[in-house]
Amino acid sequence: MSARIFIECTRHLAISEDETREKIAEPVGLNKSTVATIEKTLQSYVDRLDLKSYRAVHKPRLTAIHRKSVVWSDELRFYVEGSNRGKRVLRKEGEHYDERNIISTVKCGDGGAMV
Has residue 109 been placed in a domain?
no
Q: Give me the pLDDT at residue 98, please.
A: 83
Length of the chain: 115
Task: Read off the pLDDT band of 96 (50, 70, 90).
Answer: confident
What is the C-alpha separation between 21 and 104, in angstroms, rounded?
32
DSSP string over 37-90: HHHHHHHHHHHHTT-EEEEPEEEE---HHHHHTPPP----EEESS--STT-EEE
Position 56 in a domain: yes
Range of the domain at 59: 4-69
User: How many domains does one find in the chain?
Assistant: 1
pLDDT digits (tens, 9 = 90+) for 34-83: 777 788 888 888 888 888 888 887 777 777 887 788 777 777 766 655 55
The secondary structure of 90-115 as a DSSP string is EE-TT-TT-GGGEEEE-TTSS-EEE-
